[in-house]
Structure 1
Amino acid sequence: MEKKLIREQILKKRKTLSEETREIYSQKITNKLLASSHYMNAKTIMCFISFSDEVDTHDFIKSAIQDGKKIVVPVTFPKTHELKPSRVKDFNELEPGYYNILTPKKEFERFIDPKDIDLVITPGVAFRKDGYRVGYGGGYYDRFLSKIPNTITIAICFSIQLVDELPTDSFDIPVDYIYTEKNIVTCK
């Protein structure tokens, strides 16, 4: 099955979850992340800022800042299809940006070297249990993750986003773990 078709099917399925269900599931996933040794051992964590009906990452980001973690969020550069990690010290430093996704205000952009990141929390639309994922089609994360091959990566999603089959390309980068509201999948 084509990535585009899988993306459409899973996004449609994800939209069927009620807001209340998404909140409950997101909280379960956040709690698992905060309790994980990967989180506890990480000093610098990159996490996407959720939008629409994704697993909500806002509470996770706020908790990590409160815990004294260095939190970085991706800033997208559409012309080059590039992500650059920028440190966030307070959730109020964010404003709607590209695709209406929260992003650091210009005066709060603090870019860091990707090699300083210990843990990356990645988004996605569909996930295979071996860690391969289909995102939104821009290839941003695959390009970014290829630069930091030894950094631990955790994808977070609702269990309905797990699929048995997913086409892969040579440039696709699998994640190490997938956290859902039901379980934690070790991919490698």
Structure 2
Amino acid sequence: MTQPGKSALRAEARATRRHLAASFPGAAGKAALFVDVLPPGPIVAAYCAIGSELDPEPLVGALLVSGRSLCLPVVLERDAPMIFRRWSPGDPLKPDAAGCPAPLPLAAVVDPDLILTPLLAFDDFGGRLGQGGGFYDRTFAVRPGVMRIGFGYSGQRVPRLPMESHDIRLHGVLTEVGYTAARKV
């Protein structure tokens, strides 16, 4: 059950993110400059930005140059954890069960070492406010060893987010001002 305050937080965070996206169009390129401070791992799960989400495209290019392989999440069932399929820029995509662009079924299923996740808001303790579908939290729950990294604007940081029992904390967040590891709760 979602806390009543989360829908109000989401509405406010969406408005903030839209404002940040319009005000800082170069933020994604600046964030990509910090590719070398991301935690290690040969396979990184990116995502296809929707709406005002910070677009990981510049970071994807930097990850490829640094020798990492990429994959994208795929929702097969709305209430199940996501799977990940190998992906390179230019590979064909089609909408998955959640309507997000995803690699075709012929792409190999892989296990990422690091998952980049979009967000509406984040805090210093690894709290992440997502869209509310639970796709990332369900996926993180079955992949406890994977590094969970939020990707967003520094202006999406809030003092503290409410966390529910099913919410899984991030290990850190990458923004246009750098990478910050989550503080212990």
Q: TM-score range by the shorter chain?
A: 0.7 to 0.9
Distance 1:18 1:186 in 2: 23
Residue matched to 2:12: 9
Please list every run of 5 or more consecutive structure 1 residues that lacks an aligned counterpart in the other structure. none
**Is this contact kept in 2: 1:50–1:101, CA < 8 A?**
no
Distance 1:124 1:12 in 2: 13
Which digits, 9 at most, give the CA deviation of each residue in 1:82-118, with x for residues without a partner?
Answer: 3111111x311133524653311344x3212x3xx22
**What amino acid does structure 1 have at the position aligned with 2:18?**
K
Give the secondary structure class of the aligned counterpart of 1:91.
Answer: coil
Aligned residues: 179
Distance 1:129 1:101 in 2: 28
- Measured after TM superposition, the shift of residue 185 of structure 1 is 2.4
- Measured after TM superposition, the shift of residue 138 of structure 1 is 0.7
How large is the Cα RMSD of the aligned pairs?
Answer: 2.1
Residue matched to 1:65: 64
Residue matched to 1:128: 123
Compared CA separation, residues 13 and 62, structure 1 to 2 (3 A): same
**Is this contact kept in 2: 1:87–1:110, CA < 8 A?**
yes
* Bigger helix share: 1
- Measured after TM superposition, the shift of residue 169 of structure 1 is 0.5
**Is this contact kept in 1: 2:28–2:58, CA < 8 A?**
no
**What amino acid does structure 2 have at the position aligned with 1:111?**
V
Q: Identify the match of residue 163 of structure 2 among 164, 168, 180.
A: 168
Distance 2:76 2:67 in 1: 28
**Is this contact kept in 2: 1:124–1:133, CA < 8 A?**
yes
**What amino acid does structure 2 have at the position aligned with 1:14?**
R
Alignment of 1:1-188 (within 5 A): 2-17=5-20, 19=22, 21-22=24-25, 24-32=26-34, 34-36=35-37, 38=39, 41-88=40-87, 90-98=88-96, 101-107=100-106, 109-112=107-110, 114=111, 117-187=112-182, 188=184
Compared CA separation, residues 59 and 181, structure 1 to 2 (3 A): closer
**What amino acid does structure 2 have at the position aligned with 1:110?**
A
Distance 1:94 1:164 in 2: 40
**Is this contact kept in 2: 1:42–1:119, CA < 8 A?**
yes
